[in-house]
Amino acid sequence: MDQVDFNAPHSMGTTIIGVTYNGGVVLGADSRTSTGVYVANRASDKITKLTDNVYVCRSGSAADSQVVSDYVRYFLHQHTRIQLGQPATVKVAANLVRLLAYNNKNNLQTGLIVGGWDKYEGGQIYGVPLGGTIVQQPFAIGGSGSSYLYGFFDQAWKEGMTQDEAEELVKKAVSLAIARDGASGGVVRTVIINSEGVTRNFYPGDQLPIWHDELESHNSLLDILGAPEPMNI
Amino acid sequence: MSSIGTGYDLSVTTFSPDGRVFQIEYAAKAVDNSGTVIGIKCKDGIVLGVEKLIPSKMMLPGSNRRIHAVHRHSGMAVAGLAADGRQIVARAKSEATNYDSVYGDPIPVKELADRVASYVHLCTLYWWLRPFGCGVILGGYDRDGPQLYMVEPSGVSYRYFGAAIGKGRQAAKTEIEKLKLQDLTCRKAVIEVAKIIYGVHDEAKDKDFELEMSWVCDESNRQHEKVPEELLEEAKAAAKLALEEMDAD
C-alpha cells in the first residue's frame, strides 16, 4: 500500500447546502477534509462567518476557500465598520466573493455558497461555483456530494418552508450525500440565520437517519469493545 | 459680512489668528455669486432646480447643463465655477461606478456624499491646489429612501430637507421653509421649486435665465432624470402666473 502523503493539498470533498425559508436561511455541510484517501480532519467546520449576518459554505481546496473567506471578511469589515456603519447586505458579501473567485479563476479551485439575512431583502442564498459566476437561488448545493442530491431536491424542495422544515431538509440531504459520497462524511453542521441572529447546530452520526445498506454508527470504541462475545476456539 | 484677512489669506494652508482659513471662505464667495440652486426632499423623492443665468442670447437653450446624473439613482446640481463643478461631477460618477463594480450594489447616497465631501476637502489641504469654487447639491434615492446632501467648498457635507445656494439663497430658504415637505409629492414640488426660482430671480441685476430641473422619485421609478417636458412647462407657466400676481399687488 502506498504511503499516505500527509502534506499533500487538503481538499474538502464535501457536501454543502444553502436553503432559504420563510424568514431566513439554513446553511448545512458535512465535516470531512481529505488528503487523498486519508481523512485529515473528520470534524471540520466548513461554514465560515463573513459578518454577523452572512456566512459562507466552503468546498473544494481547503486552502483556497479559507484565503478567499479571509479576504472577504477583511473587505467587509472595512466596508461595514469603517464606511457604512450598518451591517453589510448579503448581496454585497456575495459580490466580493465572486470578484475574487472570478479574477483569480486560474489559481483557485473552490466552490462557495454565500448565505445570510439582511433587513432589505431578508434571507438570501448566492451560489459562487468554480468559474466565479454569481447566481442568486432559493436553494443551492455544492461539493462532490451534491451530485447525489439534485434529484432529491427536485422532489423535496418547496417554497416557503418553516425553519424546522428547512433544517430537517438540510440535515436529511447532507446525510444522504454522506452515505453515497466517499469524500463527504463525519458530522452534519447547520447554521440558521434570520432576523433574530445566528444559531449553530451540530448533529453527530447517531442523530442522523440510517439509509439503505448503511451500518449504524458507533460513537465510541467502548461500545464495540465493551461487551465482547465469547470466542469459540 | 466679510472681513479682510490681510496677510493671512494668500494661501489655503495658512490659518488666520482667529482660526479661519480665508481662501476657503473666498471660494465660498464664488458660490454665493452664482445663480441660485435649490434642492428639496419631499414625501416620495427629491427635486433639484437651477436658475441658470444666460450670459449671451447666442447660447442654445438646454446647453451648459448645471444638473448632472451621477448614477442611475442620483443627481447633482452645481453652483459656482462651472469648470470646477465638472470635475466634482466626474469624480462622483467615478466613485459611484467603482462602488457598483466592487460591491455589486448602487452606492448609498450617504456614502457618495461622504466621498464627494472628502474629495472637495482634499483640495483644501495643499498649497499647490486651490479649493473648488463650487458648491454642490446632491440628491439621490436608495434603499433608505430619498436623501439630499449639500457639499460646500470647505468639504463640509450635511444632510438636508431643503437646501439653497447661490445669489438668491436667503430668499429661497425662506420660501422652502414655508413648504410642508412631508406632505408634498414630487409632482407638486416641481411647481413649487419653479415658483421659488422665478421668485428669487432678480430681473434688475441679471438678464435672462433658463430654468433647469430634475427629479428622483417614485414616479420616475427611482431613477434620476430631467423633469418631463409637459410638467416643466406647466411649472414655468404656474411660476410666471405667481409672479404676475405678486407684481399686481
pLDDT digits (tens, 9 = 90+) for A103-118: 999 999 999 999 999 9
Would the CB atoms of A83 and B114 count as touching at under 8 Å?
yes
**Residue B4: its pLDDT value, please?**
63
Angle at CA of residue B94, ends B90 and B97, nearest 5°: 140
The answer to whether the beta carbons of residues A68 and A110 sit under 8 Å apart is yes
Instruction: Give residue-wise pLDDT tens across range A162-202.
Output: 999 999 999 999 999 999 999 999 999 999 999 999 999 99
Question: Which range, of A7-16, A82-91, B74-83, B95-104, averages the lowest pLDDT?
Answer: A7-16
d(CA A184, CA A141): 13
SS3 B83: helix
Q: Which residues in chain B are contacts of A134 at CB distance < 8 A?
A: 104
> Once rounded to an integer, what is the mean pLDDT over residues A91-105?
96
Per-residue DSSP letter, A73: H
B217 φ, ψ (degrees, to nearest 5): -155, 180
What is the percent of chain A where pLDDT is above 70? 89
What DSSP string describes B38-51?
Answer: EEEEETTEEEEEEE
Give the orientation angle of helix B82-103 with respect to helix B109-122, to 10 degrees: 130
- Contact call for A79 and B103, based on CB within 8 A: yes
**Pairwise CB contact (< 8 Å): A99 & B111:** no
How close does chain A come to B93, measured CA to CA in Å?
18
Under an 8 A CB cutoff, do B111 and A92 touch?
no
3-class DSSP state of B140: strand
- Measured between CA atoms, the residue of chain A closest to residue B105 is A92
Beta strands A38-41 and A122-128, pairing class: unpaired
Whether pLDDT at A81 is above 70: yes
Q: Distance, in angstroms, between B92 CA and closest chain A CA?
A: 16
Residues in chain B with CB shorter than 8 Å from the CB of A118 are: none
A208 confidence band (pLDDT: 50, 70, 90):
confident
Rounded Cα–Cα distance for residues B132 and B34 (Å) = 14
Q: Which positions in chain B touch A84 (Cβ < 8 Å)?
A: 108, 111
**DSSP track, B158-226:** EEESEEEESTTHHHHHHHHHHS-TTT--HHHHHHHHHHHHHHH--TTT---EEEEEEEEETTTTT-EEE
Distance from CA of A104 to the nearest CA of B (A): 15
- Grid cell for residue B155: 468639504
**Chain A: nearest CA to B45, how far in angstroms?**
19
Residue type, B170: Q
The contact set of B with A (CB < 8 A) is: 102-105, 108, 111, 114, 143
Residue B135 phi/psi, 5° resolution? -110, 155
SS3 (DSSP) at A26: strand
Closest residue to A91, CB basis, from B104, B108, B114:
B104
What is the band of A85 on the pLDDT scale with cuts at 50, 70, 90?
Answer: confident
Chain Cα centroid distance, residue A71: 19
Q: Nearest chain B residue to A79 by CA: give it.
A: B103
CB contact under 8 A, B102 and A96: yes
Determine the Cα angle at A96 with ends A92 and A100, to 5°.
165
3-state helix, strand, coil in chain B (%, to 5): 35, 25, 40
Among B95, B98, B99, B103, the residue to mutate for chain A (most A Cβ within 10 A) = B103
Which residues of B are less than 8 Å from A80 in CB distance?
A: none
Enumerate the residues of chain B whose CB falls inside 8 A of the CB of residue A79: 103
What was the pLDDT predicted at A32? Answer: 93
B103–A120 CB contact, under 8 Å: no
Q: Is A14 a catalytic residue?
A: yes
Say how many CA atoms lie within 13 Å of B24 toward its Cβ.
21
The pLDDT assigned to A26 comes to 97
Helix (H, G, I), strand (E, B) or coil at B150: strand
Enumerate the β-bridge partners of residue A28. Answer: A17, A190
A–B CB contacts, 8 A cutoff, strictly below? 22
| pLDDT for the residue B1 | 43
- Cross-strand partners of B75: B69, B139
- Mutation target among A51, A72, A79, A80 for the B interface, most CBs of B within 10 A: A79
H/E stretch holding A76 reads helix A62-77
C-beta atoms of A95 and B114 within 8 A: no
Whether residue A12 is predicted with pLDDT greater than 70 in this model: the reply is no
For residue A84, what is the nearest residue in chain B, using CA coordinates?
B111
Task: Flag whether pLDDT at A49 surpasses 90.
Answer: yes
Mean model confidence pLDDT for chain A:
90
* Average pLDDT per block of 10 residues along chain B, 249 residues long: 71 92 92 94 94 88 91 94 94 95 92 95 93 95 94 94 93 93 92 93 82 93 93 93 79
Contacts with B111 from chain A: Cβ below 8 Å: 83-84
Cβ of A84 within 8 Å of Cβ of B111? The answer is yes
- Which pLDDT score is estimated for B137? 96
Q: Which amino acid is at B126?
A: Y
Q: What is the pTM of this model?
A: 0.83
Q: Give the model confidence (pLDDT) of A112-171 as tens digits.
A: 999 999 999 999 999 999 999 999 999 999 999 999 999 999 999 999 999 999 999 999
Catalytic residue among A14, A20, A80, A89: A14
The β-bridge partners of B141 are B146
Average pLDDT over residues A64-81: 92
